[in-house]
Amino acid sequence: MNLPDDISVKDVDVLIIGGGTAGPMAAVAAKEKNPDASVMLLEKANVKRSGAISMGMDGLNNAVVPGHSTPEDYVKEITIANDGVLLQKGVMTYAENSYEMIQKLDNWGVYFQKDETGEYDMKKVHHLGTYVLPMPEGHNIKKILYRRLRRHRVIVENRYQAIRIMKDSEGNACGCISINTRTAEIYVIRAKSVVMCTGAAGRIGLPASGYLYGTYENPSNCGDGHSMAYQVGAELTGLECYQINPLLKDYNGPACAYVTGPLGGYTANSKGDRFIECDYWSGQMMMEFFNELQGGNGPVFLKLDHLAEETIQEIEHVLHTNERPSRGRFHDGRGVDYRTKMVEMHISEIGFCAGHSASGVWTNEKGETTVPGLYGAGDMASIPHSYMLGAFVFGEICGANAAEFAAERDFAELDVDFITAERDRILAPMKRTDGIPPSQFEYKVRRLVNDYLQPPKVTKKMDIGLQRLQAMEEDIQYLYARDAHELLRANEAQHIYDCAKMAAVASMYRTESRWGLYHHYVDYPETNNEDWFCHVQLFKDDSGDMVCKTRPIDPYVVELDDNEKNAYAQMRVQQAG
């Protein structure tokens, strides 16, 4: 049976979805592994400027550099920051490859800060070890990646949103169904293996400003990958361990302690006092941040007004030209000058992100999801606290492993019924003549998330939230899009909707509190290691229901001393307490 004419098909050996950080690296690695393989990088935006690092990055947040730390030190730090729940093997794989990746990027021309002797200029921000490497001139990183894609003849397809992963009769991933975001044409890519690099789910919650796109994450990362993985039957993990970040109020970008901390800046309460021991982002740190915000000493501020003029200029240079360069304009608009005023901070909306937290599509130390032939890297996967360098390391691992997997396989037969049914479903909002605008549907989902699902988590509230979300299932059939762009938003909104339900279901399943604010469950305020020292896996069961199960934690590769385990539990500065 052939596909109808309005659906075009392309065959490639390896398909990479998402061309931000992990994706380009995965594509290059697949080509390096097998230069004869055809490799496609599919991107919703344009790989030249897509993803979290579109304008550059302020620094590596988790560089494991010999002489400063060992992979074992790093694994310990991340184990403690995650209250012990993690796949240590995965973090170890990252840590062992971290330095090599820095050198690779350095060779490619990415600029990292070096000291007088030419060594990497490492800074301490974490609670225990030294892992931050500034890259104040890191603007050109996307250009450098792009050059590599060209050199390796990766097939780049911009402005295609992947919507569903396809599976063959044996259950292997065999490509995806995507849509052109400007023409609404359906494009099927048949592949022998698939790597998902679709970034965080950053549009689940609503920023305090109410502006749908004023999110911490690049809003093109709306959870498409999480929803696709769920729909194809892959397991997701740790979704109850939300990402919540301390940010500049309203601007909603990093404040950013990793840049200012080593230069003497810090997070302070309204009295100008330090109240947290360590500005490294963790659930425990966020709990203290939240307590201070709610308590009489709020709001919380970034304090720089005590610093010398040259230091302030250095900070301005980094924060106002790199990563989130519109920040200076934001401050100018409000007359905020670091020299004279503390800068108001707030907490972000919730999200799923392995890059900063530990929530995402389950992947092991090889980057494999629970669906054969389907890999995941970066913020959408589950190797915790992986940040940019983790996205590169696991992008590389996934690309190479996916190329190997592809080499053993033939193309699967296309499931024409599935594809045509999906086409009809995907295009339906454009066939209608009126209905619910995607922006209103999305706003409502995200507002419900804020009202009922963000911490402090309460069973009764989450119950209501989930019920209200479930009732919105009815509304999907009325989504209305006037053009291809609105259709893109309608499809995104449905993925956001899936993610919102996942947040509720996973949070209610884990009946304890863990990870500080991330899973601060009021009905179960204590951490319960007896019953809950395990992963929570969320998946779609055979009857199509969203369910959870536990997964035991794999044996550690690095053991912790008893006195180390609580290092992150003592976040509050004692005298400010």
Partner 1 sequence: MPIASQISMVPVVVDDDKCIAEKGCRTCIDVCPLDVLWINEDTGKAHMKYDECWYCMPCETDCPTDAVTVNIPYLLR
Q: Is 317 in the site for partner 1 (CB under 8 A)?
A: no
Q: Is 329 in the site for partner 1 (CB under 8 A)?
A: yes
- The three-state secondary structure class of 218 is coil
Q: Is 18 in the site for partner 1 (CB under 8 A)?
A: no
- CB under 5 to 8 A by kind: which of partner 1, ligand FAD, none does 355 bind? ligand FAD
CB of 108 or CB of 478, closer to partner 1: 478
Q: Is 180 in the site for partner 1 (CB under 8 A)?
A: no
Report 197-226 residues binding partner 1 (CB under 8 A).
209-215, 218-220
Q: Is 143 in the site for partner 1 (CB under 8 A)?
A: no
Residue nearest to ligand FAD (CB): 20
- CB under 5 to 8 A by kind: which of partner 1, ligand FAD, none does 18 bind? ligand FAD
The answer to whether 97 and 383 are in contact (CB under 8 A) is no
- The three-state secondary structure class of 13 is strand
- CB under 5 to 8 A by kind: which of ligand FAD, partner 1, none does 144 bind? none
SS3 content of the chain, % helix, strand, coil (to 5): 40, 20, 45
Residue type, 8: S
CB of 380 or CB of 538, closer to partner 1: 380
CB of 213 or CB of 418, closer to partner 1: 213
Q: How many CB atoms lie within 10 A of CB 117?
A: 6
- CB under 5 to 8 A by kind: which of ligand FAD, partner 1, none does 330 bind? partner 1
Interface residue with partner 1, options 11, 250, 314, 523 (CB under 8 A): 250
Q: How far is the CB of 398 from ligand FAD (least distance, A)?
A: 11
CB of 22 or CB of 548, closer to ligand FAD: 22
- CB under 5 to 8 A by kind: which of partner 1, ligand FAD, none does 38 bind? none
Q: Is 494 in the site for partner 1 (CB under 8 A)?
A: no
Q: Is 140 in the site for partner 1 (CB under 8 A)?
A: no
Q: How far is the CB of 437 from partner 1 (least distance, A)?
A: 7
The answer to whether 228 and 162 are in contact (CB under 8 A) is yes
Instruction: Characterize the bridge pairing of strands 186-196 and 374-376.
Output: parallel
Give the C-alpha separation, 404 to 216, whole Å.
36
Give CB contacts under 8 A, 24+ apart, made by 484-487. Answer: 484/180, 484/181, 484/182, 484/183, 484/184, 484/430, 485/181, 485/182, 486/429, 486/437, 486/438, 487/179, 487/181, 487/184, 487/426, 487/427, 487/429, 487/430
CB of 48 or CB of 551, closer to partner 1: 48
- CB under 5 to 8 A by kind: which of partner 1, ligand FAD, none does 46 bind? partner 1
Q: What is the 8-class DSSP label of residue 452? A: I
Q: How far is the CB of 461 from ligand FAD (least distance, A)?
A: 28
Q: How far is the CB of 27 from ligand FAD (least distance, A)?
A: 11
Give the C-alpha separation, 552 to 54, whole Å.
37
Q: How far is the CB of 218 from partner 1 (least distance, A)?
A: 6
Q: How far is the CB of 491 from partner 1 (least distance, A)?
A: 13
Interface residue with partner 1, options 49, 151, 153, 460 (CB under 8 A): 49
Q: How far is the CB of 241 from partner 1 (least distance, A)?
A: 25
Q: How far is the CB of 76 from partner 1 (least distance, A)?
A: 35
CB of 164 or CB of 324, closer to partner 1: 324
Q: Which two tokens stand for residue 19?
A: 């061309």
Interface residue with partner 1, options 104, 152, 330, 468 (CB under 8 A): 330
- CB under 5 to 8 A by kind: which of ligand FAD, partner 1, none does 478 bind? partner 1
Give the C-alpha separation, 68 to 129, whole Å.
8
**In DSSP terms, which residues pair with 193 in a beta bridge?**
14
Distances (CA, A) of 245 to 202, 264, 353, 442, 495: 11, 20, 11, 22, 22
CB of 209 or CB of 370, closer to partner 1: 209
The single residue listed with the structure tokens 């690779």 is 104
Q: CA 494, 497, 502: angle at the middle one, nearest 5?
A: 130
Which residues lie near ligand FAD (CB under 6 A)? 17-23, 42-45, 50-53, 57-61, 161-162, 197-199, 216-218, 220-221, 224, 253-254, 258, 323-324, 355, 378-380, 387-389, 391
Give the C-alpha separation, 283 to 278, whole Å.
12
Which helix (H) or strand (E) segment is 189 a member of?
Answer: strand 186-196
- CB under 5 to 8 A by kind: which of partner 1, ligand FAD, none does 23 bind? ligand FAD
Q: How far is the CB of 22 from partner 1 (least distance, A)?
A: 16
CB of 460 or CB of 485, closer to partner 1: 485
Q: How far is the CB of 333 from partner 1 (least distance, A)?
A: 5
Q: Is 182 in the site for partner 1 (CB under 8 A)?
A: yes
Give the C-alpha separation, 26 to 376, whole Å.
10
Give the C-alpha separation, 385 to 294, whole Å.
26
At residue 333, φ and ψ (nearest 5 deg) are: -60, -30
- CB under 5 to 8 A by kind: which of partner 1, ligand FAD, none does 367 bind? none
Q: How many CB atoms lie within 10 A of CB 485?
A: 13
Which helix (H) or strand (E) segment is 247 a member of?
Answer: strand 246-248
Report 423-442 residues binding partner 1 (CB under 8 A).
434-437
Binding-site size for partner 1 (CB under 8 A) equals 41
The answer to whether 560 and 76 are in contact (CB under 8 A) is yes
Q: Which two tokens stand for residue 350?
A: 């919730």
SS (H, E, C) 453-464: HCCCECHHHHHH
Distances (CA, A) of 207 to 215, 300, 450: 6, 17, 9
Report 332-361 residues binding partner 1 (CB under 8 A).
333-334
Selection from 34, 8, 428 nearest residue 177 by Cα: 8
CB of 485 or CB of 549, closer to partner 1: 485
Q: Is 485 in the site for partner 1 (CB under 8 A)?
A: yes
**300-303, strands of its sheet edge to edge:** 246-248, 343-347, 300-303, 266-268
Q: Which parts of this chain interact with partner 1 (CB under 8 A)?
A: 45-46, 48-51, 54-55, 158-159, 181-182, 209-215, 218-220, 250-252, 324-326, 329-330, 333-334, 434-437, 478, 480, 485, 488-489
